Amino acid sequence: MEAEAVAKDWWLYHGNGEGAARRARLEAGSPPPWRDFGGALDPGYAPPGCAGEAWQRTAGRGEGYVPDEPEKDVVNTALHLRRPLLVTGKPGVGKSTLAYSIAADLNLGPVLHWPITSRTVLRDGLYLYDAVGRLQEAGMEQLRTPGGLPAAGTAAATAAGTAAATATGAAAGAPVEDTPSAPSISRYLRLGPLGTALLPQDRPRVLLVDEIDKSDIDLPGDLLTVFEDGGFLIPELARLAQEDPAVAIGTDDDPDAVVRITQGRVQCRYFPIVVLTSNGERDFPPAFLRRCVRLHLEPPGPDKLARIVRRRLGVDVASGEEYQDLVRAFLDRGEDGDLATDQLLNAIQLRLAGAWSAPADRERFLDTVMQHLTGPTA
């Protein structure tokens, strides 16, 4: 059985929990001069801590991850350099779970999750602005005036004209300026997962950017400026800065847990721990790769599978021939097409529950729980 790696002095992430002291080292550590951002904290905003349902989901998923020594070396390199971590590998090897493991190990609070599709654009991750909803509410306010219609020349009439003239543009994403009777913009703005991760906070947040290889070709390039600056501008708030320099808006964690944005600028204090996952479906531009620390995860071998089963299910594979048989079957089938580690866990969980225990059912059982994800029989 492969022994777990002895912790190195420079490691912050160990993958075994109990990381309060290591989190303090992370917060007190000196980043490279070009990665020191220094955003000012909002004393009225408290990010979610290590309690509640969201944290339980993060901790429950992260505590089952079993990192190898090379993985720990690369993760800790990204932590010290304050750089995004680009994790590649076949489906099911644990790329996304690694983000939860980092958050759970260092007590960094719930993971912020940004799933990527071919339609995702940068602003989806930074913030959401419901311009159409704001115009509709302005129109409802106008209809509540005596007689149902605003008098000509009044502020309400001006707002009505604005609503009629800009509704089409708002639907297309064009900016909508304030009018004297328009509802406050703060109710229609909310930070996205990337925007929330970039808030100046008392600790770095973990952001999972899931399946970045599924994005439009422009998204990796669009992320470069944000990753380099550690912040971004919200134009809708910047235009109002003279009249209202600090506006409170919701976050991705909780729309009601507002944070004050000054002059329309979000600037991080600690660069977030960004984990980008990729199944290798496309290549990335060199400029993007240069700004990331890269980690490739190989499918686990028998020793690592045994450690994963022990940590996740409390089962010692060596204690029973039926468990060893399932591991051998998993590895054999993995040679013909990709399998995910949780398929092995599902198989062992079923055996623990007494399901599919008849010897004559073995092949049907394996065909049911270990279907290939890729390959000729997928």
For residue 335, what are the CA distances in angstroms to 153, 164, 285, 339, 362? 76, 62, 31, 9, 19
Residue 362 has phi, psi (to 5 degrees) of -55, -50
Does residue 171 carry a pLDDT above 70? no
- pLDDT mean over 160-168: 42
Query: Cα separation of 199 and 251, whole Å?
Result: 9
% of the chain residues with pLDDT over 70:
85
Of 142, 172, 146, whose CA–CA distance to 158 is shortest?
Answer: 142
pLDDT at 96: 97
For residue 339, what are the CA distances in angstroms to 175, 211, 212, 303? 47, 18, 21, 17
pTM comes to 0.86
Over residues 323-337, the pLDDT tens digits come to 999 999 999 999 999
Structure tokens at 8: 């190195």
Q: Identify the residue with better confidence: 213 or 171.
A: 213
Name 297's bridge partners.
Answer: 89
Query: If DSSP states are collapsed to H, E and C, what string results for the chain?
Result: CCCCCCCCCCCCCCCCCCCHHHHHHHHHCCCCHHHCCCCCCCCCCCCCCCCCHHHHHHHHHHCCCCCCHHHHHHHHHHHHHCCCEEEEECCCCCHHHHHHHHHHHCCCCCCEEEECCCCCCHHHHHEEECHHHHHHHHHHHHHCCCCCCCCCCCHHHHHHHHHHHHHHHHHCCCCCCCCCCCCCHHHHEEECHHHHHCCCCCCCCEEEEECHHHCCCCHHHHHHHHHHHCEEECHHHHCCCCCCCEEEEECCCCCCCCEEEECCEEECCCCCEEEEEECCCCCCCHHHHHCCEEEEECCCCHHHHHHHHHHHHCCCHHHCHHHHHHHHHHHHHHCCCCCCHHHHHHHHHHHHCCCCCCHHHHHHHHHHHCCCCCCCCC
Does residue 69 carry a pLDDT above 80? yes
Q: pLDDT class for 130, splitting at 50, 70, 90?
A: confident
* Sign of the Cα pseudo-torsion (62, 66, 71, 73, in order): positive
Does residue 206 carry a pLDDT above 80? yes
Of 83, 62, 50, whose CA–CA distance to 16 is shortest?
Answer: 62
Does residue 97 carry a pLDDT above 80? yes
Output b/e per residue, 291-326; b: 16+ Cβ within 10 A. Answer: ebbbbbbebbeeebbbbbbbebbebebeeeeebeeb
pLDDT at 295: 98
On whether the CB atoms of residues 281 and 214 are closer than 8 A, the answer is yes
pLDDT at 352: 94
Tokens 């660069």 belong to 271
Structure tokens at 206: 């973990």
Over residues 258-306, the pLDDT tens digits come to 899 999 999 999 999 999 999 988 899 999 999 999 999 999 999 999 9
pLDDT at 16: 83
State the CB neighbour count (10 A cutoff) for residue 374: 14
pLDDT at 28: 87
pLDDT at 1: 47
Over residues 339-372, the pLDDT tens digits come to 999 999 999 999 999 999 899 999 999 999 999 9
- Integer-rounded Cα Rg, in Å, for the chain is 25
% of the chain residues with pLDDT over 90:
71
Does residue 115 carry a pLDDT above 90? yes
Q: pLDDT class for 202, splitting at 50, 70, 90?
A: confident
Tokens 């700004």 belong to 291
- pLDDT mean over 87-109: 96
Q: Please, what is the average pLDDT of the chain?
A: 87
Q: pLDDT class for 105, splitting at 50, 70, 90?
A: very high
Which has the minimum average pLDDT: 144-153, 160-169, 272-281? 160-169
